[in-house]
């Protein structure tokens, strides 16, 4: 993790206790934008982001996507390569929420950066908002890169219901970004955040996204894979994308996860 902090962008004249609402709103907006700009710059320097959010899903997709051929069968109702391209898109969401953000935020807590944000005059909600925007940008960019790599190798599967796919991906991203913010504000150090994030990410990845399809799993593992948070997000994205189902239940649960996650993360960052 980089040791740089965005404190240099803090407005030196901001007074948290100011009684003038208009003055506060005028000063808060540039402060929040500066925090967002600083967070985006730090994101580009973070090797964890490059490895887990960009490189890992692409490499895993290239390896697994070609294992089962290209012909539908009794296990895969569609082209298996397309099944994994659609599935690995959500790996980006899981990596962002379970690895990138918790490590990033916990490193801030470990170094006392969050306390200095408050002392510099940043409103508490601005940090959570900055992480949400950064997380959404990360998911969009990393997802686009994954599809760009998949296109000449396996082809990008035709989207059957674009609106539902975008809705599911957005809700899933918000849910996992909120989980990442929550983990980062609870775990005491960057190392502990990385350990917990990896323990949560890889079972979710292997059972809910990048491993064998549920049809070939045992009953217990198949049930677990279908109800893991990342598995639900994957169902909500993959089924309308490939035209193999509506995934209504998965979409509703994903929306609930997003709402609950945002409330919990917001409450935590407001403490």
Around Cβ 209, how many Cβ atoms within 10 Å?
Answer: 26
With a cut of 60, say whether residue 5 has pLDDT above it: no
pTM over 0.75: yes
Q: What is the pLDDT of residues 107-162, one digit of tens each?
A: 887 777 767 766 666 666 777 788 888 899 999 999 999 999 999 999 999 999 99
**Res 91: pLDDT:** 93
**Res 9: pLDDT:** 41
Which residue, among 93, 80, 257, 58, has the nearest Cα to 165 in the 3D structure?
93
Indicate the pLDDT class of residue 269, thresholds 50, 70 and 90.
Answer: confident
**Res 29: pLDDT:** 57
251: tokens are 């979409």
Q: Using alpha carbons only, how large is the chain's radius of gyration in Å?
A: 20
CA–CA distance, 57 with 17 (Å, rounded to integer)? 45
CA–CA distance, 58 with 51 (Å, rounded to integer)? 10
**Res 129: pLDDT:** 83
CA–CA distance, 189 with 111 (Å, rounded to integer)? 9
183: tokens are 């983990």
């Amino acid at each position: 993790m980089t040791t740089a902090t965005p404190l240099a962008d803090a407005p030196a004249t901001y007074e948290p206790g100011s009684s003038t609402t208009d003055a506060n709103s005028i000063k808060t907006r540039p402060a929040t934008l500066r925090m967002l700009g600083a967070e985006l710059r730090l994101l580009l320097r973070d090797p964890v982001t490059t490895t887990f959010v960009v490189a890992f899903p692409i490499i895993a997709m290239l390896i697994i996507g070609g294992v089962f051929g290209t012909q539908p069968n009794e296990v895969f109702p569609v082209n298996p390569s397309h099944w994994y391209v659609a599935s690995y898109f959500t790996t980006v969401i899981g990596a962002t929420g379970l690895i990138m953000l918790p490590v990033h935020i916990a490193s801030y807590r470990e170094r006392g950066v969050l306390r200095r944000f408050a002392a510099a005059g940043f409103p508490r909600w601005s940090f959570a908002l900055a992480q949400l925007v950064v997380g959404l940008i990360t998911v969009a960019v990393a997802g686009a890169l994954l599809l760009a790599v998949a296109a000449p190798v396996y082809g990008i599967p035709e989207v059957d219901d674009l609106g539902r796919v975008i809705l599911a991906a957005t809700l899933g991203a918000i849910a996992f970004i909120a989980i990442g913010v929550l983990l980062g504000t609870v775990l005491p150090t960057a190392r502990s955040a990385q350990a917990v994030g990896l323990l949560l990410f890889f079972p979710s990845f292997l059972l809910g996204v990048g491993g064998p399809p549920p049809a070939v799993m045992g009953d217990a593992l198949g049930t677990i894979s279908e109800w893991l948070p990342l598995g639900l997000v994957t169902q909500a994205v993959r089924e309308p994308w490939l035209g193999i189902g509506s995934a209504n239940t998965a979409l509703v649960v994903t929306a609930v996860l997003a709402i609950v996650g945002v409330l919990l993360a917001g409450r935590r960052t407001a403490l």
